[in-house]
Amino acid sequence: MKKFVKLGICAVLMMALCISVVGCGKSGDKAEKFKVGMECGYPPFNWTQLDNSNGAVPIAGSKEFAGGYDVEIAKKLAEGMGKELVIVKTKWDGLTPAVQSGTIDGIIAGMSPMADRRLTLDFSDYYYSSDLVIVVKKGSKYEKATSLKDFTGAKITAQQNTFHYTVIDQIPDVKKQTAMADFPAMRVSLESGIIDGYVSEKPEGVSATSANAKFGMAEFAKGQGFEFTADDIAISVGIKKGNTELLNNINKVLAGISQEQRDELMKNAILNQPASQ
């Protein structure tokens, strides 16, 4: 009888141990993931490629890989927080809903922490700041523009649901075109002559002109370009409102990345972008 009692006690203990291990495994797996959403189509910040060269990371649910400045920042954040990075390719308009639903933990996609976005998302400290330019056809009359007045009457567009599209109204008598879904679409439209230019951040402008010899970039003299706030041209990590623990952890890691390191990451991203993008 004692033998059976001992066996019974052992069985119960073993079952409890198994349940505990399984439960911890599920919790651990979830805690170890840092799911990041990005378009994978906005070089040099993020793009899609076919292999893992230059530190590219697998895109969840596909055989493709994501590379770029945003990916490098995401890698540093994941490492700093002791989590496994998972890249979730997501269309621009789907990024905020994805965070709110829990499909992703954060947005690292060249997103600016503008006032209207702060109504639905919390944002980290800046991880990059830039300037606004207009990407144009090389050799066109707009390439050497130094003020917004030089674009009077030009057909200009920008990506939909971005600050870039709103500033077009600052150009005198501009022929504002319909906003486009992404940067690849704008580059195609520019090369084909459908538009005269599109508003972008300087790194993307450098990326565009490096990838396509037919493109140029118009930069503006001080006081002659677009008006904007620091938040408008900065880039931060977007997370679900109220997730203070994640926000603090992200900011802690970002504080340890020097400006020199950030500049080097951007330089390499521009050099490493696929020629097709």
Same domain membership, residue 245 and residue 174: no
Question: How is residue 174 written in tokens?
Answer: 């501009």
**Neighbour-count burial for 33-49, b at 16+ CB within 10 Å, e otherwise:** ebbbbbbbbbbbbbbbb
| pLDDT recorded at residue 246 | 98
Same domain membership, residue 110 and residue 48: yes
Same domain membership, residue 267 and residue 148: no
Domain with 263 in it: 33-129+234-272
**Do 130 and 205 touch, CB atoms closer than 8 A?**
no
- DSSP secondary-structure letter at 60? T
Nearest to 86 by CA among 30, 132, 140, 47: 30
> What one-letter code names the amino acid at 219?
E
The total number of structural domains that make up the chain: 2
* 189 three-state secondary structure: helix
Same domain membership, residue 250 and residue 204: no
| pLDDT recorded at residue 31 | 56
- DSSP secondary-structure letter at 179? P
In terms of pTM, does the model score above 0.75? yes
| pLDDT recorded at residue 274 | 84
Same domain membership, residue 38 and residue 123: yes
| Sheet order of strands, 33-38 included | 84-89, 33-38, 106-107, 234-240, 121-129
**Do 220 and 147 touch, CB atoms closer than 8 A?**
yes
Same domain membership, residue 260 and residue 138: no
Same domain membership, residue 37 and residue 124: yes
CATH (domain of 39): 3.40.190.10
Regions of the chain where pLDDT drops below 50: 1-29
Q: Give a yes or no: residue 197 inside a domain.
A: yes
Same domain membership, residue 193 and residue 80: no
**Do 277 and 184 touch, CB atoms closer than 8 A?**
yes
**Do 158 and 226 touch, CB atoms closer than 8 A?**
no
| pLDDT recorded at residue 21 | 40
Provide CB contacts within 8 A for 66, sequence distance 6+. 38, 40, 46, 47, 48, 49, 56, 57, 58, 59, 87, 89
List, in sequence order, every residue forming a beta bridge with 198; answer none if it has no partner.
135, 157
| pLDDT recorded at residue 74 | 98
pLDDT digits (tens, 9 = 90+) for 147-184: 999 999 999 999 999 999 999 999 999 999 999 999 99
pLDDT digits (tens, 9 = 90+) for 107-120: 999 999 999 999 99
Cα separation, 66 vs 269, in Å, equals: 12
* 27 three-state secondary structure: helix
Distances (CA, A) of 142 to 85, 148, 154, 233, 244: 42, 10, 9, 22, 46
